[in-house]
Amino acid sequence: MNFKQALSEKTDIVNSYLTLLAPKNADERLLCAINYSLNAGGKRIRPILALSVCQMLGGDEKSVMHFACALEYIHTYSLMHDDLPCMDDDDLRRGVPACHIKFGEAMALLAGDALLNHAFEVISHAPVPAAMIVDALKVISTAGGVGGMIGGQARDLKGATALDDLISLHGLKTGAIISAAAKVGVIASGKKDETIQSAIASYAESLGIAFQIKDDILDVVGNEQEIGKRTGHDASSGKKTFVHFAGLKGAHDALEKYTKRAKSSLQMFGEKGNFLYSFADYLLGRDN
């Protein structure tokens, strides 16, 4: 099976579980807002990463998918809130009107809150030993909180003052949840080897920074229809991005550097790491 086939298969698995585990019994308009954002598209990078790491290490999908879906619910809620006028003030997300444009700001806020809380409910019902659930809870709650994504978002409101500061910010705002996905993949596989854990963590950390650098580049040179949101938004809002500090060439060079660093972290896994190796290249070459 080639990479595209494997990616399509994993995406189908993820989407089926996201539907299966999504909130069911709630106010009808609230559910509409949740499902609107959850099913608007997206590459499902975080759950695919969790699933792929787990499978590479000999685990199965049933062990990891509650954790993987929880991360996608958290990611989706963060986008719903990030688009609000008080944050990034974006009208488009994934090529369609943002949740608050479709349902109003109050409902978008509630729908995001609902997905965040539902994520932890889903984790609590994972069909794995309690110790695994506790470990996953520690990883995911830290990654999504003040020491991770939310902490990075708070710093992003102030803006980065230098390139090193921006890399650190990216590592929190974007990289923390991506790293958490890889880490829960290891947890669900049952592997305790510190060398394996370190290699996967290194891969994910570099992948997360590369992912955000690519986003910064696409905001400058991307096609709005392909990206599914406004381009030029960073410059118009005065946000200092990788392109601001390093220029387009410097950003492309950094993207290649972090992508190569991610791939080099997989050497110990040999051919078993082929999908994750290709996954890094796939993210480097994406158009949205």
pTM of the model: 0.94
Kindly report, residue by residue over 155-174, the tens digit of the pLDDT: 999 889 999 999 999 999 99
CATH number at residue 222: 1.10.600.10
Asked whether 68 and 59 are in contact (CB, 8 A), the reply is no
Structure confidence at residue 286 as a pLDDT band (50, 70, 90): confident
Kindly report, residue by residue over 50-97, the tens digit of the pLDDT: 999 999 999 999 999 999 999 999 999 999 999 999 998 999 888 899
User: Domain of 64?
Assistant: 3-284
Length of the chain counted residue by residue: 288
CA pair distance 215, 40, nearest whole angstrom: 19
In terms of pLDDT, which residue wins out, 119 or 240?
A: 119
Q: Domains in the chain: how many in total?
A: 1
Kindly report, residue by residue over 209-248, the tens digit of the pLDDT: 999 999 899 988 866 666 555 666 666 667 789 999 999 9
